[in-house]
Structure formats: structure tokens, C-alpha cells
Homo-oligomer: A and B are copies of this chain.
Amino acid sequence: MGIVVTEATPARVAGTMPVEGNTQPFGVLHGGASAVLAETLASIGATLHAGPGRAGAGVEINASHHRPGTGATITGVATAVHLGRTLATYDVVLTDDASRRICSARVTCALRDLR
């Protein structure tokens, strides 16, 4: 889907996604694409927080779509709001080229041992 991660720490993960190629029939960004970007960024942060031999897997996501995603590129920033021992939660804000917020999401990941 063309997601590029531009910053990644347990506390904050940022990335971009092109609108083109991720649209629904009306030509604007597919709402599900916003969810993919949000969940990708949060999972990276949670996995960094989880530490060696462990990973964060999304168990819950929610997203409010505020306006159609248009233009060239969507930017997402995931900020940790809780970094626990078994769960990590991120607020994720998606904006368009004009820095307008198109989507607000929250993703909770379970931190689990890798087999």
C-alpha cells in the first residue's frame, strides 16, 4: 500500500501513505486504508516497546473519519498514551497535504512472546 515509516520509537511512530492506489470507487481515500496506516504505525511502536523476543499485535482499533482523504499523501503520527506490561495504546492522527485532520484513531496492541 506504499506505506513509508519516517520515525519510529516506542513513544512515537510516523509514516506516510499515498492516496493514489488506496482509493474507493468515489476516488477518495478508502476509510479502511486509514485503518491500515493507523494499525501499522501503532504495531511498530508497540513492538519496539515490547522488547526482544516479543511483539505487539493489534487487538482493538477504532477510527473516526472526519473528511475525505484527498491530495497526494496522507501522513500519520502514532503517539503512545499508555505503555503497559501486557497492553500498549496509541492515539493516531492522520492528516492530508494541507495538514487537515482526516481521521482520528486509537489502537491497542497486546504484547506477546514470539514463538
Interface residue ranges, A against B (CB under 8 Å): 24, 26, 30-33, 35-40, 43, 55, 57-68, 81-82, 84, 86-87, 89, 91, 93, 101, 104, 106, 108, 110
Q: A110 near B91 (CB under 8 angstroms)?
A: no
This chain's copy number in the assembly: 4
Chain B residues lying within 8 Å of A31, measured Cβ to Cβ, are: 39, 43, 57-58, 61
Q: A32 near B39 (CB under 8 angstroms)?
A: yes
**Which of B40, B64, B91 has a CB less than 8 Å from the CB of A59?**
B64
CA distance A99 to B87 in the complex (A): 20
Chain B residues lying within 8 Å of A104, measured Cβ to Cβ, are: 81-82, 89, 91, 106
CA distance A68 to B57 in the complex (A): 9
Q: A36 near B33 (CB under 8 angstroms)?
A: yes
Chain B residues lying within 8 Å of A33, measured Cβ to Cβ, are: 32, 36
Measured CB to CB, the closest approach of chain B to A27, in angstroms, equals 12
Q: B108 near A82 (CB under 8 angstroms)?
A: no
> Could you name 15 residue pairs across A and B whose Cβ atoms are closer than 8 Å?
A31-B58, A31-B61, A32-B32, A32-B39, A35-B35, A35-B61, A59-B65, A60-B60, A60-B62, A60-B63, A61-B62, A62-B63, A81-B93, A86-B86, A86-B110
